[in-house]
Amino acid sequence: MSVATPTIDSTAADDPVVGALKQRFGDQAILEQATLTGMPVLWVARDIVIEVLSFLRDMPEPFEMLYDLSAIDERLRGNRRGLPASDFTVFYQLLSIARNRDVMLKVALHEDDLALPTSVSIYPNANWYEREVWDMFGIDFRGHPHLTRILMPPTWNGHPLRKDHGARATEFDPYTLTVEGQDVEQEALKFKPEDWGMRRENADTEFMFLNLGPNHPSAHGAFRIILQLDGEEVVDCVPDIGYHHRGAEKMGERQSWHSYIPYTDRVDYTGGVMNNFPYILAVEKLAGIQVPERAQTIRIMMAEMFRITSHLLFLGTYLQDLGAMTPVFFTFTDRQKGYEVIEAITGFRMHPASFRIGGVTMDLPRGWETLVQGFLDWMPKRLREYERAMMENAIVRERTRHVAAFTTREALAWGVTGPNLRATGCDFDLRKKRPYGGYENFDFEVPLGSNGDVFDRGQLRIEEMRQSLRIIQQCVDHMPAGDYKADHPLTTPPPRDKMLQHIETLITHFLQVSWGPVLKPNESQQMIEATKGINSYYLTSDGNTMSYRTRIRTPSFPHLQQIPAVMRGGFVPDLIAHLGSIDFVMADVDR
C-alpha cells in the first residue's frame, strides 16, 4: 500500500527544519519524538515556544499555516517511553506549502501550572484553537484576546477532554432545568458587544446588532453569527459555534478502534466514507497493514462518489443562497442517482461506514460497473447545464464576482484548505502533493481559481466534480482483481471465509469483535483531501483496544473563524453568499 509505514528511526532525523531549529535554539532545546505521524515531532520548552513558532513562520520557505493546535491529557498514559514529564501536552502542527512538509511542536505542562503564552499574534487562527483547548482542557493562554468557552455552553462546569471528566450521561446526575436555571442559561447566551470590544454606536450612527442564527434558513445548520450593522453594511461580526458539538473526540476514547468508524461518518455528515478515510489510514499505520489494491480502488471510488454528492449539495444550496430556488432540486436529483450507486455498493446512503481496518466491508456487488457507468454518463451534461444556466448568469456573476475575496496569503494565515484555498490560485491538493491510499495511480487535474471570491469557489467545485468523475471512470475501467480485505491479524473483522475454517482466525475474530483489536503504543496521523478541505485524524495509542486520544482536525472550523476577516465592510447579502460558498456543515465544525 502506498502509505509508507515509516520505521521509528526514519522520522526525518536529519530533516533540514530540525537542523535549522537546533542551530538556532541549541541541541538541548529541541527533543525529537519518534512517531508514525510522518513528520518531525519536537518537544520544546514553554518559554521558547513562541520564539520557535515565529522562527518557523519567518524562515525561508516558511511554515505559513497553523494547521492544528490542541492538547492531550497525558496523566493516564502508560507508555511514554522517555518523553519529557508532562501532565498536559499542547501540540502545534504547522504546515509549509513550499516544503510540502509538516512539523509538530509539543509543549509539556504540569498540572499545577496549566498556562502558556498565546500565539494569536503569530497565527491569527490560533484564536479559536486556543479557546478550544481552554474549553476542553482548562489550559490558560496568557495574553489571549478572548479566552472563553467555544464549543461547550458558557455555563458548563469542567473541561470535557480531561480524563477525569465524565463521558456518558449516566456518569452525571439526571439533567434538570429550573425556571431560574433557564434564565441563567439564556442570559449567558445574550450577546454583549462590550465583551467583544465592540461599540454600540459611534459619532453619528447607532449600530444594529442582528442575531443571525442558530435558526436561520441560510446558516447551514445550527450556526450563529452576530452582525454589527450600519444600515445593511456589516461593520463587524462574531461567529458563535458549538451548537452542534457532540464530543466526537471524547467518544473516540470510549470506542474500540473498530467501533469508532461509524462515528467518523457523522463528523462531516455530507462526506460519508470520506470521513472513514483518514481515520482508517491512520489506524492502519499503527497496525502496519498493507491494503490490497482492490480495496484501495474501491475506497477511492467511494470517496470520490461522496465528493461528488457533497459538491452537488454545495452547488444547490450555494445557488439557493443567491436566491435561485430551482437548481437545488436538480442537484438533489443528481445526488439521488449518486446515492443509488453508493447504496448498492456499500449498503447505506449517507453514512455507510463501509471502510474497515484493512479493507472495506464487502466486495463489489455483481453488476456494479453498469450502475456506476450510468452515473458517469449522466453527470457531465448536467454539470454543463448548471454552468450554462447559472454560472454564466449575469445576476449570479454580479452577486459573486469579487465578493468575499481573499488572497492565498490570507487563506494560509487563517488555516483555509481545500477548494477554498485552491480558489485563490494555490495549487495544493493532497491527492497530488502527498498521494495517500493509492491516489498516485490516477490521472486527474487539480482545478485552480484566481480571484479567491465567491464565484471561483463555486466554479471550482463544478470542475472538481468533473475530475472526480474522471477518477471514478478510471476505477471502473481498471478495477484490480484480488481481495477486498488485507490478510493481516489486525484486519477487523477478519475475512469471514477464513474465520469459518481456521480456529486461529475464529479466536481472533471473537476477540476483535468482542473486545476490539489491540494496537501497539504509538502516534499516527493521516491527512486527506476531504470534501471541504483537509481533514485529519491524529491518533494516540496507548497499547489498548481504544484510542488514548483522537484529535479530529476538520476543515470547516478554520473556515468559519475566517468569516469576520473577510466580511467586514460587506453587505448582508454578501455575507449570505459567502456562507454559501464556504461549504461547511456544523457537525464538521463542532465535532
- Per CB under 8 A, residues contacting another protein are 208, 210-211, 216-218, 232, 319-326, 329-330, 333, 389-390, 393, 395-396, 398-399, 571-574, 576
Q: How far is the CB of 123 from another protein (least distance, A)?
A: 33
Q: Are 462 and 383 in contact (CB under 8 A)?
A: yes
Closer to another protein by Cβ: residue 227 or 287: 227
Q: Which is nearer to another protein, 205 or 501 (by Cβ)?
A: 205
Nearer to another protein, 168 or 401 (CB): 401
Residue closer to another protein, measured from CB, 207 or 306:
207
Task: CB nearer to another protein: give 16 or 231.
Answer: 231
Q: What is the 3-state secondary structure (H, E, C) of 184-214?
A: HHHHHHCCCHHHHCCCCECCCCECEEEEECC
**What minimum distance in Å lies between the beta carbon of 570 and another protein?**
10
352: left (phi over 0), alpha (psi -120 to 50) or beta: alpha
Query: Least distance from C-beta 443 to another protein, angstroms?
Result: 34
Residue closer to another protein, measured from CB, 184 or 208: 208
Tell me which residue of 551, 549, 521 sits closest to 536, measured CA to CA: 551
CA-CA distances (angstroms) from residue 129 to 132, 135, 144, 202, 484?
5, 10, 11, 32, 39
Least distance to another protein from the beta carbon of 389, Å?
8
CB of 371 to another protein, least distance (A): 21
Which residues partner with 228 through β-bridges?
Answer: 209, 236
Cβ contacts of 338-341, under 8 Å, gap ≥ 24: 338/305, 338/308, 338/309, 338/312, 338/375, 339/309, 340/371, 340/375, 341/305, 341/371, 341/372, 341/374, 341/375
**Closest separation between CB of residue 406 and another protein, Å?**
19
Nearer to another protein, 22 or 382 (CB): 382
Largest CA distance in the chain: 83
Which of 337/422 has CB closer to another protein?
337
Rg, the chain, Cα only:
24
Find, among 251, 217, 273, the residue nearest to 591 by Cα. Answer: 251
CB of 192 to another protein, least distance (A): 17
Least distance from another protein to the Cβ atom of residue 485, Å? 40
For residue 186, the minimal CB distance to another protein (Å) is 16
Q: Which residues contact 452 (CB under 8 A, 6 or more apart)?
A: 405, 406, 407, 408, 411, 420, 423, 424, 425
| Beta bridge mates, 522 | 541
Q: Count CA within 13 A, CB hemisphere, residue 454.
A: 28
CB nearer another protein, residue 189 or residue 507: 189
Closer CB to another protein, 62 or 570, in the complex: 570
Q: Report d(CA 396, CA 256) in Å as an integer.
A: 48
Taking the C-alpha atoms of residue 33 and residue 9, their distance in angstroms, rounded to an integer, is: 10
Least Å from the CB of residue 302 to another protein: 26
Ordered alpha helix ranges (H), 288-407: 293-321, 327-346, 368-386, 394-400
